[in-house]
Amino acid sequence: MSPEAALISADVATVNFRRPRAEDGAAMWQLVGEMGTLELNSAYFYVLFAKDFAESGIVAETPDGQLAGFIVGHYPQDRPDAVFVWQIGVAPWMRRQGLGRRMLDALLAGQPARVQWLEATVSPDNEPSMGLFRSIAKERGVDCQEQDYLTAGLFPNAHEPERLFRIGPLGPAA
């Protein structure tokens, strides 16, 4: 199905959420390349993530099996009570429908009881992502702690610093 056809036939209400599988890795890599807004990792990364880190991620697919979006995450070794969201990818034809928010809600709903915090880093110019994470905290009635986390000097290229957003504690309803 072409993206144009998907725009007509798929909306956020018809999307299904599930854990990623290795077979999703290539489509995740391709989606990031098409988006042009996220940092593109190697195809190997997306396949490996989908195979070995599925519990900390989610994919959204249309009823006909087309990838509409995904979340790449992990559990930080020094903070096992947190799920860290590394990337949220939404297909261009699914944007502005709240899919990123719904994927985060689905991700949190499927977390083990030990997970009490949602974490993510956001560059200072990414107002939509900052607003999304702040609104999740507000809606759940929990704190949204923000702090400098990764300085620009840590990166070998022209990369903005990243602020850590730490939302929680989430409690058993996460």
The pLDDT of residue 2: 41
pLDDT digits (tens, 9 = 90+) for 122-170: 999 999 999 999 999 999 999 999 999 999 999 898 889 999 999 999 9
Tell me how many helices (H) and strands (E) the chain has: 5, 7
Tell me the β-bridge partners of 88: 71
Tokens matching residue 24? 């999703």
Beta pairing, strands 143-150 & 117-122: unpaired
Residue 37 DSSP symbol: S
